[in-house]
Structure 1
Amino acid sequence: MTTAETYYSELVNPMTYQQFKTLTEDLVAQGKTTGDEQTEQRINFTKLNQQRMKRVEKQFVIEPELSALLVQKKQDWNWLVLVESWCGDGAQLLPAITAIAEQTPGITLTVLLRDENPELMNTCLTNGSKSIPKLICEDAETGERLFTWGSRPSAIQQQVVQFKAGNPDAGHDELVQQVQLWYAKDRSHALQQDLISLVREALTARETIV
């Protein structure tokens, strides 16, 4: 069994989702963003992400299959989410992940800034990169890591790969715009489909051990 201490010594600046939202609001008012890289692009993304988070909050509906999986047995899980305020994927996904946790007794959500927690981030890289958001699910009692997810729903990532292959000359801004359109159309479905598989695997593994 792997303990939490294996992954990190301590969490730096742990926040609730509401605290993260307040931080984002304060940064927008100051014309800033999270992290050391205070570029105009990241500051603008942070401002856009405020609206994106609000839209997801209003539209999100948990899917019955995921809800049934999470409540069929009492969980005692910690969900850690690594993110930054300028991250467009994070703005689309963090509110949905938060809503799932809030609707599931036994799941405690903690939001962490990636650049303030490099030790933890380095344990869940995506093809060697620090892609975010990243969700880490741990057993709250033992600290055992049950699964990680991120940085993007597999169905949407597949669309990204196809878009790049079919549009080799497309710039970064065009890709970002396409990704945001896919998220808006998807309405958190792809995320929940990924989580259904991961949660089912985690529950099955626990039953096998028992």
Structure 2
Amino acid sequence: MTEVKAAPITKEILDKAYTYDQYRQMIDNLMKENKTTGENNSEAMLHYTKMNTFRMKRLDKTTELLPELEERLKQLERPMIWLVLTEAWCGDAAQIIPVLQKMADQTENIDLKLILRDQNLDIMDEFLTHGRSRSIPKLIVLDANSHDVLGDWGPRPFEAQEMYDNWRLNDGEDYREISETLHKWYADDKTESTQKELLPLIDRWENG
């Protein structure tokens, strides 16, 4: 988590952001044209995107919120915008965004909005992982009225991030290796780590 900071997030950007349903529909429409988000429409990127549509569909059906998280969300009083930087081909985004939507469904005080990273690099560069990496998904939490940045989270739960960082430190080159490891971890974890990490942050964001 980085320090609260100003960011080039304008009303125009927020107004043009996708809802979760719009995001899903946009990806489906691109896939019909053998395309994904961004400029790279290689077979590999199309494969990642196709797998991600399956992951999101599965998580939409299977994700259950922890009772304590569900109750906390229902008590939320501060209106917030949860703005997520994402791309259709990003496997971590597919594992996490459906959980964020489930959370937003519990309260009228969270408005989940999605924007594409590569179209918003000025925002992405304010929220780099380890100060250097444009890793996604990145959740940026805003006050719904002032649009002040209350905090951020991402790109992945701590344990998963630690696995990824260790892979990079050991000169990881074959992305398929870490991708398979991470997606197995997500499957075993059943979204619990994401939920448990976000639960205490909600208090901080509401009172910040």
Q: Please, what TM-score do these two structures have when normalized by structure 1?
A: 0.87
Say whether 1:154 aligns with 2:155: no
Deviations 1:77-136 (A, max 9, x none): 011011000000011111111111111221111111111112221211112111100111
Pairing 1:40-189 to 2, within 5 Å after superposition:
40-127=43-130, 128-161=132-165, 171-189=174-192
Gaps of 5+ in 2: none
How big is the shift at 1:68? 2.4
Cα distance in 1 for residues equivalent to 2:29 and 2:50: 10
Structure 1 letter corresponding to 2:89? W
Structure 2 letter corresponding to 1:60? T
Deviations 1:63-83 (A, max 9, x none): 122222222242200110110
Say whether 1:11 aligns with 2:13: yes
How big is the shift at 1:159? 3.5
SS at match of 1:7: coil
Size of the alignment, in residue pairs? 202
SS at match of 1:104: coil
Cα distance in 1 for residues equivalent to 2:205 and 2:50: 36
- What is the root-mean-square deviation of aligned Cα atoms in Å? 2.2
Instruction: Compare CA radii of gyration and give the structure with the larger one.
Output: 1
How big is the shift at 1:42? 0.8
Identity within the alignment, %: 36
Cα distance in 2 for residues equivalent to 1:100 and 1:121: 23
Gaps of 5+ in 1: none
